[in-house]
Structure 1
Amino acid sequence: MAEKGSGDVKNIYLSDAVPGRIEQKLCQPCLSKDTQTVADVFCSTCDEFQCKECSNVHTTHAFLRNHKLVNAKEMKTKQVSFDMMGFDQCNEHQEALKFFCEDEKQLCCSTCAIVDHRKCHRVVEIQKIAGRFTFRSSSIQARLLKVTEKAKLVVENAKSSTEQLGQDVDAISLTIRRMQDDVNKTFEDLKVSVAKDAESFKAETLNKLTKKQSDREKLVADATKSLETIDNVHQNGTPSQQFILGHRMKKQVRELSCNVDEECQSLETVTISFDFDDTMKLPPLPISYYVPGQLTLKCSSPEDVKPITPLAPIVKLTKITCIDVKLTGDDVEEPLYSGLDFLPDGRLFAVDNKKRKCLIYNEKLEKVGSFQLSYTPQSVVAVSEEEVAITSADPCKIDFLRVSKSNDITLIRTCKVMTQYDSICMKDERNFVVGTFDDTRPVRMVSLSGEEKDFSINFPNKKYPIATSASTYIRNSDKVVLADKNEHTVYIYDVKNNTRVAVKDDQIKKPCGVAVGPSDCILVCSNGTNSIVQISQTGRVLSSYKIDMELPYSVCVSKDKSIIAVTNNLVGVTNLQLFKVE
């Protein structure tokens, strides 16, 4: 019978490590009952040591009689049972793996052997072939070590990426804080800069207002004194004195009346404001580059003050010089100067639409420089002392060219745009006003970096074919001028009020080029009357100057408003003329 005792269920050997003591094997079924019994036999099928009493089941049950029993003492070693972590289980049927199919080189449980491998010829029990198998762990271990090392690298990479991500997020916050500090400093500088300019505007304007006030007070004093004199002579003077005073006063009253009328026409309300631009430029550029706005001094007439007498024309043109632009060399196309503008130093820059050229003329209209283009230019505007911008419709772009003092022309950069542009002028230091064609937005804005924007103007839903419209911009009053050649009309749009004035007159026929002249008047090439028409900002036609040129087409004004250049589009007789403004 089995003796009960305390012992480790897993331990199938009884040994106190005393020298000379023989190691005894214990019955495993008894150990499962917390009883230590010396084993008598080993069942290779059950794969366990058993005592005589526990092994009797092999004779009791018929299905166990084929198990092979051997004397326990003949078994030299027996590995300790351990958990295989599921490796000895069939993944599909969750049964013990007992067979091996040598045909398909697969481990099988009983169900796999019967169901999946019944047609295979070599399905054997694992315990029968296990002795023939040599387990080569070194190669597998080496591969596992490599896998482990790679896995560690993956883990380290993930850990490093996590740390880097955290650092990047912190860096973004730090960058934003630095930007915030820069922006705060920018606005502090802006506040100081604008305040300084505003004070300067204020001082300059106050001086003018003080002088005007003094002049107007003198008019009041003169009129008051004259009234007192008239009253005194009327009451106390002799008829002769009254007669003399009446004649003398007529002249004085006429002079006072003219002076007062002039003052009434020049009445204005002076306001100052600061409006932010749509874009901002941040440090480290100089403050003049990134000031996000512009200080504007605006003078506007009160609505209830109407002009008493028409203003006299302020522009008189005197021709200085003239040249004929002729075909030269291998030229095939007739020249057509579709764009003109003066550089700040007085040189005239022209683009030849037909010959695809840029040309530079001096004050005597002597050609001093030229540059061949690879596309058809439309118009040109001087951007700075030595830089011009040229529009092109095919491809749609704006080219920036450097014009050196020695009259060398080089391409600086190109801005690609989405719209076909014809005329071009400066809106401010960072933006252009451009005229379009084949687009329902006849006039648009483009920044020096190529960003395109629309005016807040309700333009008519109309497309202008090429060479049927021209535009310019009056910066001081924020007005857009659009010449409609086919309608014989010049439109003046007030951007701030979104209002429009249409100027039609017998002196305006097929208006082409337009430019802003002295005192912000509008100069228009009247192609059908061979004249330059002068229009006020309010839409009044002030004058029409006949020029010795057929079909005037383009006009531009020098930066100091003292010289006007005009060219035409008459086939075979292309002229270029300069006029002095008086």
Structure 2
Amino acid sequence: MSHSRTNASETILCDPCLFDDSKAEATGFCWICVEYLCPSCIKEHGRVKMTRTHKVQRDNIPENADALKEIKAMVTCPNHADMDVTHHCKNHDVYVCALCRVDTHKNCENIHEIAKEKQSERLFSDVQGLLATTANALKETRKGKKENITSLYQNQEQVFKERQILMQQLLDESNNDTKTITESLVKEIEKDVEELDVIELSKTKYEHILDAAPRAGNDNQVNIVQHIMVEKVKSLGEKVFCLQRKGLVTLQLSKSFNISKFKPIGEVDVIRNAESIVASDDTLKRAVEISSDAVTDLAEDHSARDKNNHKITDTKADVRISKLERNISADKMLHHVRGAGEKCECSIQGLVILQNGQIVLIDYTNLKIKLFANDFEFLSALRLPGRPVRICTIGPNTVAVSFEIVKRINRYKLVGCSLVYEGGFNIRLYNRGITYDGKNILAIMVHQGFSEGTITYEDEIEVDILNVLTGHVLDTITDFKIINSNRSLTLKNPMAIHVNDSNEIVIAETNRILCFSLVKDPVTGKTVAHEQRYLVIGKEIPKHNIENIVSDKDALYVISRSGRVLQISNTDYNNKRLLNVSLDEGLSIAVDDNRILVGCDNDDDIHVFEFE
């Protein structure tokens, strides 16, 4: 589009000539056409009948006609270029000419002829006042925005400093935890050293006895002393061997989080305060509200403000599909887990999937813990001190195992492609299930082992919270409350315990699934388990048939002795379904993002079912 002039220093050009791509200096201005005219076009303007009556100014022509052109556009009918606006249709909020009035707007009820409306000096004054207020608001807003940029950088520095303080506090807390662990381990080793000192004294004493025996008695007496000494020295050797088996203890930091998903230390709040940006906002808004309809749009535009204080959030759509909506593939895969030389069929009492995808399982009949790669390539196995009954992860590459008769929980760690014994601790009762809450082990404790029959309501059942390294009992939970009640709930025949993503504990009995939240009693200081949800089994799977449980972000998975797998929503136990899984004598279950792994009794294979 051509222009008569681009800046004040340029010559004003004739508008009609510019349409012909020619340039001629303008010497006149038509107030009707709102166009600059050269001498030739001035003559043509006076010659043509349609324009000969137009008012053409030849002296002191306006230097800038932009405002005049805007006025021309305002007063000209948008549908008829040669007609002036005469009416305002409020039904359609448009200004139209007399032709439009009798044509397209003939049925409009709220249309008025502008010439008949009383001209208001107050309206003109209102517009002038509004422009002045807007000018002040512009000035203040620009100033506020520039100052805001400076203050944001200052805020940023403050956030950096506060976050550094938080990081130091977290580091101090972590270091204090490490000191506590170290002190506990040192005390344990110091006890071993003390025991070695006692053994050393006994050894020296026995050496003296053995040296003195030939001089202190006859051959028969010497022979008796030697026989007795053999047993005593053997006992010393066994004690030393037991202390040797404990091995050396080291501390090593394992990253227990995915750095790419690690949340920032402290959330940054973005506080939008419109009042601090434009001090005269209310004044401007009131000025707009008292103006005529001609400036209504300005009022609407200016009042559109963000009034919300909010936190920065990720607005990406979550495209993840819940496992509650995904089916199980009809085809299952079998992976052989019985080792060469193992005489008994496997009974996979428990299995877990490590953070790197490797699988660890416990074999009850062969008394072994076994490590497999993600594709079930055999990697490592260790002989266990007793028949294992439960296993759980206690870190990205460490597991804990409990036993049927041996009152003990052992730790095993992945080092390279092998499992190594890392230590453990004794427990005072038999274990029926273990889980990990991210810091401590939670263990169901009973007075009789797995093979000793059904536990009745009269039997004492408790959940112990144990230090993961020392086994020190941090808390004991014996008070279980019925949902929405202060009445106590009695556990019967517990089979497994699990901590879900909401940090609730889920206890599986042979016939019930119970979900609890843990709360400290402010009076007694004891931890109380408050029931949140429960499910009684009997329809989807046979009664008294539950063997084990596991959960992920979406659901809880129940494996039954009959080989059925029940999937239950973590938040609504009424939302459940049987999965397309058919097995014999199910014992254990593990789940990752893409598959379900099931171990069975008297079965040398792990059964793998993939989510579609």
TM range (shorter): 0.3 to 0.5
Alignment TM-score, normalising by the size of structure 1: 0.43
Greater relative CO, 1 or 2 (CA 8 Å, sep 6+): 2
